[in-house]
Homo-oligomer: A and B are copies of this chain.
Amino acid sequence: MQAQQAMPDVDLVFHALGDPTRRAILERLSRRPATVSDLAVPFDMSLAAIGQHVQVLERSRLVRTEKVGRTRTCQIDPEGLSLARQWIEERKRVWEDRFDRLAEFLDEDDPE
Check if A94 sits within 8 Å of B24, measured CB to CB.
Answer: no
Tell me how many residues of A have a C-beta within 8 Å of chain B.
Answer: 36
Check if B18 sits within 8 Å of A14, measured CB to CB.
Answer: yes
Looking at chain A's contact residues, the main secondary structure is: helix
Check if A2 sits within 8 Å of B91, measured CB to CB.
Answer: no
- Taking A76-B95, A88-B84, A95-B76 as contacts, is the C-beta distance between A4 and B30 under 8 angstroms? no
Residue of B nearest to A43 (CB): B3
A31 at the interface (CB under 8 A from B): yes
Residue of B nearest to A7 (CB): B20
- Taking A17-B14, A20-B11, A24-B3 as contacts, is the C-beta distance between A81 and B76 under 8 angstroms? no
Please give, as numbers and ranges, the residues of chain B lying within 8 Å of A47 by CB-CB distance: none
Please give, as numbers and ranges, the residues of chain B lying within 8 Å of A95 by CB-CB distance: 30, 76, 78
Chain A stretch 1-59: residues in CB contact (< 8 A) with chain B: 1-4, 10-11, 14-15, 17-21, 23-24, 26-27, 30-32, 42-44
Across chains A and B, which 4 residue pairs bring their CB atoms closest together, nearest first? A18-B18, A3-B42, A30-B95, A30-B94
